Structure 1
Amino acid sequence: MNWSILFSMKRYFSFLALFLLLVGCAVQSKPQGGPRDETPPIILSQSPKPGELHFNGHEASIVFNEYIQAKNLRSAMVATPELEGLQATVKGKRLSITWDEQELRAQTTYRISFGDAIGDLNENNPYPNLEMVWSTGDYVDSLRLNARIEPRSKVPFESLKVWLVASNTDTVQAPAFSATPSKDGIVTFNYLPTDSFDILVFEDLNFDGTWAPESETFGFLKGAASSSDSMAYTVPFFNAFFETPEENSTAFMDSIATLLDTAKSENLGRLTLIIPPANTTVFAWLTHESGYLQSFVYPSFRESDTSYIDLGMQLPGKYTFSGFTDTNGDFLWTPASWYEGKANDPILEEQTFELKANWDLEQPLNFK
């Protein structure tokens, strides 16, 4: 027997067995993906400490428990009162803030707000409404202001900015205080002085940290006072623009009229609109899926009685009802104005329904 060959074969099978064992172990121990990390970073330390008194330095820092990143930090960062030369940098787990050496106001509460600009490095889970607060004097302002955002239509509240602006401000360029609402539309401002503010809420569509009233939807409430209680002001958010539908051409209307006159009744449907009471004039439009448009004006003298409009035989298909309430009586949809302190004309909630051929439909309308 050739013992050297036998020994070599044993070594071969030993290595083979070991290889298969390692492969098997590797397959069995294949890691499974865990749940997505949704936890924002945690503050380990900060300087100055929250609410620190007699601080007159020109630099600050916050250290987190994990690596962080910044998103639109420059536009999100707001200092109240203003700090000249304010800068912020992120390195590893540290957020460093500096400003020019200057004489800070005596007996004043300072606050630097970062909004939701700071998040963890992996998933960018934001630290909500991050802020630093200190005082140059013997106390920190302790009042607060709570607000609930009430949109006219559904909106992701986290995409909004809420500003407190000094009352009776003609131009709105920067806030006195800034925050982001929670997922429920609630926002709280802490460490406020005894004062009255105008509340502005808007959607920063171009992410520049400023409000563009011509292109960014907004809402407001003026004269909200800071206090020590938990009462919440309701702030309307006029997050919609109304565009008056374009009237049909004469040729198109003539073709629809011919079709309604010549079609068999079983190929059309009879439509009656049920109009609720209203104390203001309503302008409305009924649009068929073909583009066929009918306009209506419901006058304001109908304060208590429900009325009916028989439109007779109409095209079957899907209809959309839209319009607005003319609160100022100018026969036009008027947008909100911060400077005039006026809300926009309320826009009716869009309603859709279907009229089937050879059916009689009484369709109730909603003017809210």
Structure 2
Amino acid sequence: MKSPYLLGVVLLLSACAPTAAVRPPVQTVETPVVATTPEPTIPSPPPTSEIIVARSTPKVDQPLAQRADVQAFIREMAKKHGFNPNRLQAIFSRARAQPSIIRAMSRPAEAKPWYAYRDIFINDRRIRGGVKFWRAHAATLAKAERIYGVPPEIVVAIIGVETQYGGNMGSYRVLEALSTLAFDYPRRADYFRKELENYLLLTRAEGIDPLALRGSYAGAMGLGQFMPSSFLSYAVDFDGDGHRNLWDNPRDAIGSVANYFNKHGWRGGEPITVPASVSGARYSQWVSRKLAPPTDSVASLQAQGISPSRPVRGGQSAMLLEFEGRNGLEYWLGFANFYVITRYNHSQLYAMAVHQLGQAIGEQYAHFDASASPWARVALIDEVFW
């Protein structure tokens, strides 16, 4: 969950988990329909972050506890949540603002075409890593699907895209990342101040030293890169050991990612996308460029010259997606589950990368499962992956 646009920033609210749907076969990777003579409309590039000037250049050599704004925050945390101010004083005395974080957040986001973005995440290394991760944690992934209705390939793909299955969870102290953005990044100071508050709450609840955890430059943490607010709302103790550990406990990370999708409306057994073909002059106005749930029925889209490559229910809600492929524009119908993936990271490119990586991992895993010897199948029982 990361970046202004490529770091998933998430919200709250819990609900009871519904009964998981019956597991359908893993959806195979589908070939997109490429428009050879598309309408001369150019897709709008994704928004880029603004280059802003920080309130003041952070002083690397100045402990955060020496700042008046941090002192005010300490008093607020003591009054609002009962924190020991001396304890917080000691913690912030050992932390410093990081100017490199301001530079990273202020850098305009690079608008990559789909075919270049896809190559970053869907490659042999991530696919093989995903199969290995699935094999190592098959029992936990199956349990998560039973409880939350989210298929293993989606959970595995999220962890693969976010951290390469735990191989890169970030190198910044989470306390310093959130503090830097809370006090020296005016554009989103209120948001990150709240995340800093949530971070101190979660470390207190879990008995963790606030200075010990590391994550992304935006403060995202663990295998699934949860922001602190997401941790408090969606992280689960999936192995029953009394702690929600998303850093080095894959079981908790798997359960938490599945719970996140469940709470955001994942529909078990329903499709994510299907390739589409377009014709006529009216389809271009139906291309979805906003991150909103699909509201148009498949039947109404077909009336506009938009045809799915395989049969889908005419009354099902869908949106027309347009991506820049290597050989021309690609068109897809995206369904409710596609929108749910964008709740993890607010980007259509991200959602499609997760979906297609999951498909590729699912195909390779199914091949292993079908051809493995009885001895190899023992690996399907949860092992220590690390």
Q: TM-score, normalised by structure 2?
A: 0.23
Return the structure number with greater strand share: 1
Return the structure number with greater relative CO, CA threshold 8 A, min gap 6: 2
Structure with bigger gyration radius: 1
Higher helix share goes to which structure?
2
